[in-house]
Amino acid sequence: MKGLVAVMFFLGMGFYGTSQYVDRTNFRAGLVGGIVTGDYSEDYSLNLGLDIYQHWGVSREIDLGLTTGFSNAFGEKQTITNGGLTAETEFDNIQFIPVGGSFRIYPTSGFKFGGDVGYAIGVNKGNEGGFYYRPSLGIDLNQGSSELNISYFVVNDDASFASVLLGYLFLF
C-alpha cells in the first residue's frame, strides 16, 4: 500500500512539474444556429439558441466548466396524402434547456476541442428531455475576446434529437 501511495505521489508531482497553469478562467455567452439532423430532420429544420459557459483553467491544456443555455428547433408544416385523403399538420417547436459539465482541450493556442455532457430539460409540452452530449471544435477570434465554434448537439430519449450547430461566443 505504501508503495502504491509513493508511486501515485511521484506520478502526480511529475505531472504537476511538467504542466504549467494558464488562467483561462472565463465566462462565455453567445448565439448558436444550425440544422436539425437525425430522427427529427423531416419534422424540424432550423435550430436557434443561446449558449452560456463558465470555464476554469485547470492546466495549461485543459479547461473544465459548467454550461447551460436554450435551444429552439422550429417545427415544419407537412402535407400528407394517402389514397384520396390529404391531411396537413404543423409540428410545434421543440425547446431544451441543457444543463451540464464542459471540458476543453487546447492542443495549440487559439484552437480547442472538447465537449459538453449533461441533461437537456424539455421545455415544451410533451417534451421529456433526456441525456445530452455535444462534441465541439472552436477557434479564438479577436485576440481571444470571441470564439467561433462548430458542434453536434444530441439529446437521447426514445428517439435522438440532433443538430449540427455553428456558434459565436463572446468571452467576458
User: Residues 22-48: what's their mean pLDDT?
Assistant: 91
Q: How far apart are CA 148 and CA 152, in angstroms?
A: 14
Most confidently modeled range among 47-51, 60-64, 124-128, 139-143: 47-51
Query: For the residues of 76-112, what is the DSSP string, one character each?
Result: PEEEEEETTEEEEEEPPPEEEEEEEEEEEEEEETTEE
Mean pLDDT of 16-26: 61
* Amino acid of residue 54: Q
| Cell numbers given for 26 | 472565463
pLDDT in tens, 75-85: 998 888 888 88
pTM of the model: 0.81
**E runs forming strands in the chain:** 26-38, 44-57, 62-75, 77-82, 85-90, 94-108, 111-122, 130-141, 146-156, 160-171
Could you tell me how far CA 149 lies from the centroid of its own chain?
Answer: 10
What count of residues does the chain have? Answer: 172
When the candidates are 3.40.1380.20, 3.40.50.300, 2.40.160.20, 3.40.50.720, the CATH number that belongs to 22-171 is 2.40.160.20
Average confidence (pLDDT) over 138-153: 94
Map out the domains of the chain as residue ranges: 22-171
Percent of the chain residues past pLDDT 70, beyond the cut: 87
